[in-house]
Amino acid sequence: MTGRREAAGGDAVTGDWTPLPEPLLWMTLHGDQDVFVLRQRGREVAAAVGMEHQDQVRVATALSEIGRHAIGATVTFTAEVSARPRLVIVVEADGIGISPPEGTAAAGRLMDEVHVERDRISLTRRLPAQVGPERLAEARRTLAQSLPTTALDELSVQNRQLVTALEEVQAHRDELLTLNAELEETNRGVMALYTQLSEELEQTNQGVVALYAELDERSAQLREANEAKSRFLANVSHELRAPVTAIIGLTRLLLDARSEPLTPDQTHQLGLVQDSAADLLARVNDLLDLAKAESNRIEADWAPVDLAAVFGQLRGTLRPLARPGVQLEIAEPDPVDLVTDELLLTQILRNLLTNALKFTDAGTVGMGALVLDGRLHIAVADTGIGIPFAEQRRVFEEFHQVRGAHQAGGTGLGLPYARRLATLLGGGLSMVSEPGEGSTFTLDLPLRPSAPDTDLPHVPAVLVVDDEAAARQVLREHLAGIAEHVHEAADARSALAIATRERPSVIFLDLRMPGGDGAELIAAMAGVPELARIPVVVVTGADAGHVPGAAAVLAKSVLTRRAVADVVALVTG
């Protein structure tokens, strides 16, 4: 420890940078021996200003790294207790920063900052936040009293630190091994779970495939059953018509004035038989009409029609049906150039008017015609009991009758039949009703038959999504000859499944469906690239205007075969 200049609390080092507070310690490195002393003093200063053990070792090691190559330099230890307390060690020698000592890089990894200038290198390390002026005064006192030890002492301290460091490394390694083992275990668990999930998925997939196969089979069965039903209805009603007509003929004969006289009782009873038979015949005829329409055995006989004459005939025949207090007002229509099937048109209107008269106790039942956008609209309006909102979607279904006061005889076949005829004539039938206020049924027809089917577009498959079976049926009929296959879905969820499986060319979608809005289906499809490409035609009862994501919007009130063909051509063309 010879020739070493060392002092505690010496003068502040002056230079061209911000003056630092009074140094804690400074020393000069005269020879190799002093490197050990520098290391030891570094550790002591770090301990005195409250650094933790690890930080003490950092400071000591950084100093010995630099000190080894900085013989002749002066080292000053200073502490700042400003907002960010830190220990600053400055190593000064002429030109020391021109080619910094080898250990500078190592010191840089151990300290927070290492700043190299021409004649000085400064090393900074943050201090614990609680270090204040008292602590520094205390540190200065301690350091002034402590004397540097020998190089050997410092070597043994260094050894001890090395052993501690090695132990720490070993502990870290053990911890790492444990972690690795745990990770492996977790991985095995994840793999097992993955395998189990894959198996379950495969099983579920098999189930879904089987379910779809069953569904297809059921659909085929349903179609067959429907055809069988139509055949049955046609046959039975046909077979029934003859005997019922015979009964009516026979009763008429018995009641004839020229026949054997009957007792008043017998006359009364025969009258009842005759009424029942007439009622039965009406129902049988309804069935037969519907069966014929279902099996597409009705063909329109297109010819010019005098609408005023049709209205006049209905006015004459139906007036007797109006209850006292009910006004039947059939307006005289403006002359119109109309080509349609007069018989079918009359059947539809008679059906609508009979219903209106049946369900109206007071007020009016009216009918009027109007040509709008090149189509004929005939409205039948009444001030009757109206149709409950919950039932409005179903009145066009076969055999559906509204319960309660609405069940006034009938078969529940009139409206579905009328709608079928309207479709056959290239038109549509729609309804609005306010319970307790009345109903309006509107028939819209083309003024003449649409162009022959030759210019119809052809697509492989179309999906019709509507919760109303009758509405799906109307579209199915319009799509005949346009789509090779027509798939149907009653809700958004099954629509998504069918669209995924069948990839239809077009989807006709009802916007308002209970349990899954049509708009949600559009959004769900937009998320799947293959489905996002399928054009969606929104079919709506409401005036929807523009629907985001839809290729086109069709109002139910103008849902004709021509309109359907045009929209298919438009969205697929």
Q: Can you give the binding site for ligand ADP, defined by CB under 6 A?
A: 355-356, 359, 382, 384-387, 395, 401-402, 406, 410-415, 439
DSSP-assigned letter for residue 84: S
CB of 279 to ligand ADP, least distance (A): 12
CB of 388 to ligand ADP, least distance (A): 9
Q: Which is nearer to ligand ADP, 100 or 414 (by Cβ)?
A: 414
CB of 556 to ligand ADP, least distance (A): 17
DSSP string covering 179-243 = HHHHHHHHHHHHHHHHHHHHHHHHHHHHHHHHHHHHHHHHHHHHHHHHHHHHHHHHHHHHHHHHH
Beta strands in 342-472 (DSSP E): 363-372, 375-382, 428-434, 438-446, 459-465
Region of 93 please: left (phi>0), alpha (psi -120 to 50) or beta.
beta
CB of 366 to ligand ADP, least distance (A): 12
Diameter of the chain measured on Cα atoms: 162
Region of 84 please: left (phi>0), alpha (psi -120 to 50) or beta.
beta
Q: Which is nearer to ligand ADP, 74 or 285 (by Cβ)?
A: 285
Gap between the Cα atoms of 319 and 64, Å rounded: 120
CB of 513 to ligand ADP, least distance (A): 21
Buried b (16+ CB within 10 A) or exposed e, 458-479: ebebbbbbbbbbbbbbbbbbbb
Q: Which is nearer to ligand ADP, 387 or 456 (by Cβ)?
A: 387
Q: Which is nearer to ligand ADP, 45 or 291 (by Cβ)?
A: 291
Q: Which is nearer to ligand ADP, 97 or 384 (by Cβ)?
A: 384
> Is 357 within 8 Å of 326 (Cβ atoms)?
yes
DSSP-assigned letter for residue 321: G
CB of 323 to ligand ADP, least distance (A): 13
Q: Which is nearer to ligand ADP, 413 or 443 (by Cβ)?
A: 413
CB of 444 to ligand ADP, least distance (A): 18
Beta strands in 48-194 (DSSP E): 74-80, 86-92, 113-116, 120-126
Gap between the Cα atoms of 424 and 474, Å rounded: 10
Q: Which is nearer to ligand ADP, 58 or 556 (by Cβ)?
A: 556
Positive or negative, the CA dihedral 105, 106, 110, 111 is negative
Tokens of 134: 């008292």
**Phi, psi angles (nearest 5°) of residue 189:** -60, -45
CB of 489 to ligand ADP, least distance (A): 25
Q: Which is nearer to ligand ADP, 385 or 534 (by Cβ)?
A: 385
Q: Which is nearer to ligand ADP, 21 or 410 (by Cβ)?
A: 410
CB of 355 to ligand ADP, least distance (A): 3
